[in-house]
Structure 1
C-alpha cells in the first residue's frame, strides 16, 4: 500500500500539565498518546497522527482544528483522564474527580470539527464518555459510588487484566460486527454514561449492572464508541475480537475520503 492511499487517522492527545507542587513535574505541558492505540490503528494499514493542542500560552500561528479535520480521514478519541464534571453541569464530588477541563475543551472541539467535516469519530473509554458529554449527555463521576451493586469496572492493580462480560444488543450495527450476546471484555474505567446524549443509541451494556458499554450516533455523522479498550486486545485471554470495529471505522473513513 502506498503512502498516498493509506488512510490518515488522527488520535487525540493525552495531556500532562505542569504542576508546581511536584519538583519532578515538567515545566511545560506534554502531549502524548499510548503506543498501543497507535499500533491498533496501524494494524489495518492506516497512518496514525497525534493531533496537538491548538491553544495554550505557547500556541503560535493560525492552524485550526478544522484544517486537521479536513486533512485527516477520521479520528480516534483516546482514553485517559476523567472528564471535568463541569462539562456536564456538575461539581466534582471529590477533588480527585475534577478531571481535565483543558483537555475536555480541546477534544470537544475535535469532535465538533470532524463531525462538521463529515469524518468518522471513534471513542475509546474516556473517548466514549467525552463524545457523550459533547453531545449533551452526562456521566457517573464514580460508578461504584453512584451506582450501588455495580461490578468492579476498574481495578487499579489488575488494570487491563480486569474483565467482565458485555452484552451486544440485537438489531444494532455493533451486532452486525460482533455476534449478539455476551462477550468477555477488558474494563479500565471508574466513570461511565449516566444520561445518554440525544441522537445516540446504546449498542452494548454490562449485563450484570446495566452500565452502558457501547454507543452509536443514529443520525448522519458516523460517531461510535466503546467503553472497553480494543487496543489492548490479546486473543489468548479469550476477549472479544475487536478487529471488526476497527475495520468498520476505517471503512467509514475511506468512504468519507471518497466523498
Structure 2
C-alpha cells in the first residue's frame, strides 16, 4: 500500500495573557492543533502534522528548518480557523480594537501558503483560512459584517458557536458544485463576524449565503495548483448528519489532489 498522506496543518497561536487565563500557562506562547481538525483529516485516512511557527523569541532560527522544507516533505496544507486576519494585512487600519487581528499569524501562514504553492502542493482553508487566502492573493475583508453590512443576516451567534447554522447555495458550474451533483442548497455552521469584501483576482466564488450574498466558498481559478477554501467549519459537521452539509466529498477531493501532487 502507498504510505498515508502527510497533511500539514497551520498552528493556532495562544499568547499568554491575551485571550483570557489558561490554567498552567503563564509565560509561554502555545502553538496548537484543534482536535476536530485533526480528526477531520484523519477521517480521510491521512496523517495530520501541525507546522509550528518560528518567531523572533524562538530558540531556533528560520535557517535551521525552513517552511519550504515542510512544503517539500508534506503532501498538502490545511489552514485552521482562529483569530481575525489583521486589517494591516490588506492595507487597512482596525475600525475597532477588538478587530486588530493576529498579524504574527498572518505572516507565518502567508509564508506557509507561498511555500506550499511554490512546491505544487494543494492548500485548503477553513474559515479564517478562506479570509487569509483571499487577502494573500489581493482581496480585502469586511472587518465586521454586522457593522459594515448591517442588512446582512447573523453569521455568528454568541453562545451558540458551531450550533449556529444557515443555508449556503452552491454556484452552478463551479468545481464545488460538480462534487455535489443535483445539490443546490445545504446547511452549514456559521461562526464568523468577518467575511470577504473584495474577491482576490484569479479566484471564483463557489458558494454564497442566499440570504445576503456573503461569500461562503472560493477557489483559485487562475494559476497552477489546488487552492480552495470554505467559510464554514467542515470539522464540526457530524458524519452522517443529514441536516448539515456532507463535507466528505470536499475532503476526498482535496486529498485526491494531494495524492496527485505526490505522484
- TM-score band (shorter)? over 0.9
Shift of 1:55: 2.3
Counterpart position of 2:225: 221
Q: Structure 1 length as normaliser, TM-score?
A: 0.95
Q: What does the per-residue CA deviation read over 1:59-100, in whole Å, with 9 as the maximum and x for residues that have no partner?
A: 415100000000000000000000000000111111011000
Counterpart position of 1:253: 258
Structure 2: give runs of 5+ residues left out of the alignment.
none
**Secondary structure of the residue that 1:119 maps to in structure 2?**
coil
Q: What does the per-residue CA deviation read over 1:204-227, in whole Å, with 9 as the maximum and x for residues that have no partner?
A: 000110100000000212100000
Counterpart position of 2:5: 7
The partner residue of 1:73 within 62, 72, 75 is 75
Shift of 1:23: 7.2
CA RMSD of superposed structures (Å): 1.6
Residue 128 of structure 2 corresponds to residue 126 of structure 1:
yes
Q: Does the Cα contact within 8 Å between 1:54 and 1:65 map onto a contact in 2?
A: no
Residue 190 of structure 2 corresponds to residue 187 of structure 1:
yes
Q: Structure 2 length as normaliser, TM-score?
A: 0.94
Q: When the two structures are aligned, how many residues end up with a matched partner?
A: 256
**Greater CA drift, 234-243 or 84-93:** 234-243
Structure 1: give runs of 5+ residues left out of the alignment.
none
> How do 1:7-86 residues align onto structure 2 when only pairs under 5 Å count?
7-19=5-17, 26-61=26-61, 62-86=64-88
Counterpart position of 2:142: 140
Shift of 1:246: 0.3
Shift of 1:34: 0.7
Task: Mark the CA change 1:7 to 1:20 in structure 2 (over 3 Å): closer, same or farther.
Answer: closer
Moved segments of 4+, more than 6 Å: 20-23
Q: Does the Cα contact within 8 Å between 1:143 and 1:191 map onto a contact in 2?
A: yes
